Amino acid sequence: MKGLQVLAVLGGLALAGLSAAMAVTNPKQDAYDDYAVEQLSTYLKEEACSQAPKLPQVEEFLQRQCKSLVDTARPQIKQILSEKTERQNLLLFSIYRTDLNIGPSLPAYHFETVGVFQKFYIYQVEEQ
């Protein structure tokens, strides 16, 4: 019986320690904004810029310019993402919901990301 009590106390302490660690390392909105702009910039450089017109002698130039434009626009991309993101702080972790709709000629996207232990994990992406 005493061994069971000790085990229960140790389990409770471990759970309390884990909860405290999760609360302390619950990432803030600024950290998510940095993460989101990095993810979107990488996607744009790898996917959107690679779809530049395949014209002899200008394809490589257009891809370089596209990547440069993405780098130059990072502050604006970060601002848009920040404005389009809603954070739900659940103390131990946070859920970030981003609705990205830039214009009528581009598809709209909905992202859901969980932030825990100073890391982010995208668990839902929907094209709308």
Is residue 80, in this structure, part of any structural domain at all?
yes
Q: How many angstroms separate the CA atoms of 48 and 50, rounded? A: 5
pLDDT for 107 equals 84
**pLDDT higher than 90, residue 87:** yes
In a domain, 3, yes or no: no
Whole-angstrom distance, CA of residue 16 vs CA of residue 23: 10
Whole-structure pTM value: 0.83
Contact 51, 59 (CB under 8 A): no
Q: Is residue 82 part of a domain?
A: yes
- For the segment 14-33, the average pLDDT, to the nearest whole number, is 88
Residue 15 in domain:
no
* Assigned domain for 99 exists: yes
The single-letter code of the amino acid at 38 is E
Span 57-74, pLDDT tens digits: 777 888 889 899 999 999
**Which residue segment(s) compose the domain that 48 sits in?**
26-127
Q: How many domains does the chain have?
A: 1
